[in-house]
Amino acid sequence: MWKKNMNQEEAAQLIERFLNSTSLYPQEWNDFVETRQENRLIESYRRQCEELDPLVNRPGEPDQEAVARLRQLIQSLRSAT
């Protein structure tokens, strides 16, 4: 079962792995964006990732503005710790 109580650094690392194409397993990103988080802060970040998902998790090149937004989320998650 997917982890429902991630901390900020775990979420930041997951987003970073997705952007770097180094996910721990093929569906890691999908599991994250599809699973609600117990922590309200992490859940708000997860929802933002869910909204950006169609722009970055698609065939061909991802939307560069969406990628930039994900990078901002990583920075924000790390500064929230």
Boundaries of domain holding 45 = 8-79
d(CA 75, CA 15): 11
Residue 80 confidence class, pLDDT cut points 50, 70, 90: confident
pTM: 0.94
What confidence tens digit (pLDDT) does each residue in 17-76 have?
999 999 999 999 999 999 999 999 999 999 999 999 999 999 999 999 999 999 999 999
Residue 57: what residue type?
Answer: N
Q: Does the residue 20 lie in any domain?
A: yes
Query: How many Å apart are CA 69 and CA 2, to the nearest integer?
Result: 24
Is residue 11's pLDDT more than 80? yes
- For residue 19 the two structure tokens come to 């952007």
Domain count within the chain = 1
